Structure 1
Amino acid sequence: MDRPAAQASSVVEGRPRPVRSELTQLLKLSGPVVISRLGIMAMGLSDAIVVGRYSASELGYHALGWAPTSVVVTMAIGLLTGIQVMTARAIGEGRRNETGVVLRRGLGYSLWIGVISAGVLALGGPLFLHAIGLEPSLADGASRVLLVFCLSLPGYALSVSASFWLEGLSRPGPGAWIMWIANAINLALDLLLVPGTWGLPAMGAMGGAWATTGARTFLAVAMLGYIALMPEARALGVFDRPERNRAAEAEQRRIGFGAGASNFFEVAAFASMNIIAGWIGGLAVAAWAIVLNVAAIVFMVPLGLSTGAAVRVGRAYGARDPIGMIRAGMIAFGVTGLFGAAVSLLVWPNARLIAAAYTGNPATLAMAIPALALSCLMYFPDSLQVVTAQALRARGDVWLPTGTHLTSYVVIMMPLAWWLAIPRGMGIVGMVWAVVIASVISALLLLVRFWRLSLKG
């Protein structure tokens, strides 16, 4: 394909694609992805509510058994990002028939990720839980739950591959509605297995783990079934066995390694924040959990916008359209900034009401309310940094975002949070200040990088 033809996607009657059209494409892509990502959170939330209402001790087993697998879930999302980016690039280059190659490559990769991680956690997870000082009965109960959760990881990894491929094709809708069907199945299994109904014995936390495993298995089968039945599946090369392309395989893995490493650094950094809160006291852990949970819900929107940005920038990158890359990136950054500012203005005056929805404990609320109000300063830069990082990866700049996340969240945020919270005596508020500062640094570094690459063309 020649250069003018490749740039046709961003030219209308000789003029650049209007900003309104680019904005529409971004929102059409991002909306269903946000709904899908919220579905991931909803599945864990329904498990916790049903198990928690059945038994507080069983909820402890469930939470501890789920925690190690959450690291794999987060890592898998990053490691498989290459599917999304490479699919969008192929579309931009006019090679729709080769997108099936990206999917087949990603499915094999995701199956290895799921099986190996399940095996490693099944062998090492119980040993870890018994080695960190838990009561033996608690470690035993959590270990049994962990082994069931491990069975869900291969199916989950396969479903991520299928979802990312559809998103790369600018078809995120099926992944969103299949995810919420899986949520309905998960809730039904929770209500059936956890308390024991219809003559079945009560399974408690084990029932919640089996519900998640069943829902994730359905999710994988449904996503792959949908793709296989797509009318254009053969035209996209889904069923073709392609010749091996080691360079493309390496590029797809390289993009995933960068995103996976970034996710790991962030997960590790925020896990350390829970430890710092624990050093302050038990109520501080509860207060920090409120702040973090609200931030996680807010984060789902920029996470969806980051997918839209990656697809639009990746498509322009594949079309060798530098103006299109700049336009797609800047519009995504603008929408993200507006969202971050708007949600901050919403949460700040309602911090007391939001915190009170989580707990009625006066001492916990006294810590959580000012910390939650201060966290509003975090939403704007944190939203921008995740979207900018994905836009950079889509244009081939894989490792700079990873280095930025390592610097901002591990090198700066972790020690700063400890220093402000404990030696300086600022408690949870000091921890939030550390997150705000790290997010601002990360966003500034990434935006400067995107702008400097744009100047080079």
Structure 2
Amino acid sequence: MFENPPRSWTDEWRQTFVLAAPLVGANLLQMAVFAVDVVFVARLGSSALAASSLAVSLFGLLIWSLTGLVGAASPLIAAELGRRAHAVREVRRTVRMAAWVGVIASFAAMAVCLAIGPILAMTGQSERIIVLAVPFMSVLMWATIPAVLGSLLRTAIATLGRPMVGTVITGLSVGVNALGNWVFVFGHFGMPALGLNGSALSSVVTSTATLGAYLLVIRFDRRLHRYHMLGRWWRVDWTRFVDVLRIGVPIAATIVAEAGLFNAAAFLMGRIGELPLAAHALAMQFAAIAFQVPFGVAQAATIRVGRAYGAGDRHGITLAGRVALVLGIGFMALSAGVLLFAPRTIIGLYIDPALPANAALVALAVRFMGVAAAFQLFDGAQTVGAALLRGLQDTRVPMALALFGYWVPGLGAAVWLGLYTPLAGLGVWIGLLIGLAVVAALMIRRWYRRETLGLVSRTDAKESASLPS
């Protein structure tokens, strides 16, 4: 399942790549799952698309943050495996308590979903959009628990050395969601045409089916079944429960801080004008897709560093960090080159840049992409840097660094440059660049000071083998 700890750059490079590649594939396929909804809902009209977009934006933020919360299982499991190769009871307890945390937090998220009407009203949305979004969300919110538990199991399976399982299951979920939308939105196989709410129902079915697929794999895969991750789910382990919260809550808060900056940027663009908002959406599409690669590398980095941390292997920690940073930032350097030298080609994937009616939109999007090329590098650095620290189970200070970097220099610069200078929309993108650059610098600095800060010390590690399983 896992090879011996690497002692050379080449060994670490190979093991990180083998782990990261399926994770990147699963991340890209997850974006395809969301894209399927857009394809079907767009046929229902602009009002339905706007309502679903707003609801999915809120729902996506909640799910993403809860994914980070239960994602605390990854460094905990990795450290246990690094400490002891056959940490069956420790893995089972970690997955069980992360599931408890995830389910409890999911109910809180569902309560937020029920408040979408007042939330949209406070942001000034039209009554027509609110009327459509409220029943849509009342169905979609039931996908919360299966989505969070599915994410937890995907993380656990990848940490146990089977990342390709998540890629295959996510690929299958694209087909399930497409079929579900076709059946429920337009009415096929004897089902009534549910319209917009049918797309929400499809998401619930897809999330549930995905969770079911993970449960089946865990039950019947011999190497995974030995951990009995589904056993004794009713037994509580408060020490591990607190460990999950201790590591997971700061991860979730960091995600909210970053997402909040980018969501605020969209609202700022909307205040500046419709054209800058459209250009912003175009430029952000490629950035979001490219981000999935360093994000997958970051997920692998947490696992690689976590195993070395659990084993008390300082050399392994250093190797894992160096390789992950080179992979993550190196890819983003390539994507930055694409943004700099072929922006019109990217734009051509969405609209016809040769049409005179699109000239102003294309020109503005190209300007934004010039700034995006620079922030790609910092985006890769910050996500990998934060992941390396998570592998050391260091999340509280990185959370504070992220909150400061994104919301003080980042959002502050975006508001000032975007609303109070002639830079307008370009100023908002410069603010994004500043926020990412500050967070990246702070994360990388903390990573390289890990020895001085005592982050790699194993003296405070909790021996859990003697705890009840």
What's the TM-score bracket when you normalise by the shorter of the two chains? over 0.9
Q: Which moved more, 1:156-165 or 1:332-341?
A: 332-341
CA 1:234–1:176 in 2, change beyond 3 Å: closer, same or farther?
Answer: closer
Mapping 1:405-444, distance limit 5 Å:
405-444=402-441
Mapping 1:211-250, distance limit 5 Å:
211-233=202-224, 235-241=226-232, 245-250=237-242
Matched, 1:324 2:316: yes
Distance 1:425 1:453 in 2: 42
Q: Which residue identity does 2:73 align to in structure 1?
A: I
Contact 2:147–2:208 (8 Å) recurs in 1? yes
Aligned residue number for residue 184 of structure 1? 175
Helix, strand or coil for the counterpart of 2:186?
Answer: coil
Distance 1:218 1:163 in 2: 13
Contact 2:73–2:94 (8 Å) recurs in 1? yes
CA 1:128–1:440 in 2, change beyond 3 Å: closer, same or farther?
Answer: closer
Q: Which residue identity does 2:264 align to in structure 1?
A: S
Matched, 1:89 2:79: yes
Equivalent residue in structure 2 for 1:170, among 161, 175, 183: 161
Q: Which moved more, 1:54-63 or 1:329-338?
A: 54-63
Give the share of equivalent positions with the same residue, in percent: 25
Distance 2:104 2:318 in 1: 36
Aligned residue number for residue 373 of structure 2? 376
Contact 2:48–2:129 (8 Å) recurs in 1? no
Aligned residue number for residue 24 of structure 1? 14
TM-superposed deviation, 1:258: 1.3
Q: Which residue identity does 2:221 align to in structure 1?
A: M
Mapping 1:30-109, distance limit 5 Å:
30-94=20-84, 95-97=86-88, 98-109=90-101
Q: Which runs of 4+ in 1 moved over 6 A?
A: none
RMSD: 1.9
Q: Which residue identity does 2:400 align to in structure 1?
A: G
Aligned residue number for residue 446 of structure 1? 443
Aligned residue number for residue 304 of structure 1? 296
Distance 2:82 2:166 in 1: 22
Per the normalisation by structure 2, the TM-score is 0.90
Contact 1:66–1:145 (8 Å) recurs in 2? no
Distance 2:438 2:146 in 1: 37
CA 1:55–1:197 in 2, change beyond 3 Å: closer, same or farther?
Answer: farther
Contact 1:233–1:239 (8 Å) recurs in 2? no
CA 1:437–1:128 in 2, change beyond 3 Å: closer, same or farther?
Answer: closer
Distance 1:115 1:338 in 2: 40
- Deviations along 1:26-61, one digit per CA (max 9) or x if unpaired, are 111111111111122111111111211342222122
Contact 1:234–1:240 (8 Å) recurs in 2? no
Distance 1:118 1:188 in 2: 26
Per the normalisation by structure 1, the TM-score is 0.92
Aligned residue number for residue 118 of structure 1? 110
Contact 2:261–2:432 (8 Å) recurs in 1? no
Helix, strand or coil for the counterpart of 1:238?
Answer: coil
Contact 2:278–2:361 (8 Å) recurs in 1? yes
- Deviations along 1:400-456, one digit per CA (max 9) or x if unpaired, are 211121111111111101211221211222122222222222112111111111456
Contact 1:62–1:206 (8 Å) recurs in 2? no
TM-superposed deviation, 1:173: 0.9
Distance 2:362 2:215 in 1: 46
Q: Which moved more, 1:46-55 or 1:308-317?
A: 46-55
Distance 1:272 1:225 in 2: 40
Aligned residue number for residue 259 of structure 2? 267
TM-superposed deviation, 1:367: 1.1
Distance 2:131 2:350 in 1: 29
Distance 1:152 1:454 in 2: 42
TM-superposed deviation, 1:234: 5.0
Distance 1:136 1:452 in 2: 52
Equivalent residue in structure 2 for 1:392, among 383, 389, 394: 389
Helix, strand or coil for the counterpart of 2:420?
Answer: coil
- Deviations along 1:374-395, one digit per CA (max 9) or x if unpaired, are 2101111110110110111111
Q: Which moved more, 1:338-347 or 1:145-154?
A: 338-347
- Deviations along 1:255-313, one digit per CA (max 9) or x if unpaired, are 11111010011111111111110111011111111122211111101110001100000
CA 1:378–1:131 in 2, change beyond 3 Å: closer, same or farther?
Answer: closer
Q: Which residue identity does 1:172 align to in structure 2?
A: P
Mapping 1:258-297, distance limit 5 Å:
258-297=250-289
Contact 1:336–1:383 (8 Å) recurs in 2? yes
Aligned residue number for residue 136 of structure 1? 127
Helix, strand or coil for the counterpart of 2:161?
Answer: coil
TM-superposed deviation, 1:200: 4.0
Distance 1:32 1:158 in 2: 19
Matched, 1:209 2:200: yes
Q: Which residue identity does 1:67 align to in structure 2?
A: S
Matched, 1:336 2:301: no
Q: Which moved more, 1:178-187 or 1:433-442?
A: 433-442
CA 1:449–1:422 in 2, change beyond 3 Å: closer, same or farther?
Answer: same
Distance 1:407 1:431 in 2: 17
Distance 1:340 1:329 in 2: 17
Q: Which residue identity does 2:347 align to in structure 1?
A: A
Q: Which residue identity does 2:36 align to in structure 1?
A: S
Contact 1:326–1:454 (8 Å) recurs in 2? no
Distance 2:46 2:297 in 1: 37
Q: Which residue identity does 1:44 align to in structure 2?
A: F
What is the aligned residue count? 444
Q: Which residue identity does 2:155 align to in structure 1?
A: F
CA 1:234–1:288 in 2, change beyond 3 Å: closer, same or farther?
Answer: closer
Equivalent residue in structure 1 for 2:247, among 246, 255, 273: 255
- Deviations along 1:146-194, one digit per CA (max 9) or x if unpaired, are 1111011111011011011112112111111111111101011112222
Contact 2:294–2:327 (8 Å) recurs in 1? no
Q: Which residue identity does 2:254 align to in structure 1?
A: S
